[in-house]
Amino acid sequence: MVVAIDKIFEEIKKLSPMDRYKLRTMLDFDEITEDDIEISKSAAGGWADVDADELIKDIYGKREKSSRMGEEW
């Protein structure tokens, strides 16, 4: 059972913030429709074609090149 829950959490982590919001909204309702299920299935794996290492490299590269002044904490 724990392994199944871990797999569910891993799939949820892959969802975009908007899709996570939609999922939370659907779970708040007593009844989940077939359309809701299909929308959730279609969202799964939405980032599968993104190279995570390349994305991280791009993000940090853009941060280093930014001309914006940073906050000092």
Residue 1 confidence (pLDDT): 60
Q: Is 73 inside any structural domain?
A: no
Nearest residue to 40 (alpha-carbon basis) of 24, 19, 60, 69: 19
In a domain, 72, yes or no: no
The answer to whether 14 and 46 are in contact (CB under 8 A) is yes
Structural domains in the chain (count): 1
**32 located within any domain:** yes
Q: Which band of pLDDT confidence, cut at 50, 70 and 90, is reported for residue 25?
A: confident
H-helix or E-strand spanning residue 36: helix 34-43
Residue 52 resides in a domain: yes
* Residues of the chain above pLDDT 90, percent: 3
Inside any domain, residue 71: no
pLDDT band at 2 (very low <50, low <70, confident <90, very high): low
Phi-psi region of 68 (alpha: psi -120 to 50; beta: other; left: phi over 0): beta
User: Which residue from 15, 5, 68 is spatially nearest to 45, judged by alpha carbons?
Assistant: 15
pLDDT of residue 33: 81
Domain span at residue 54 reads: 2-64
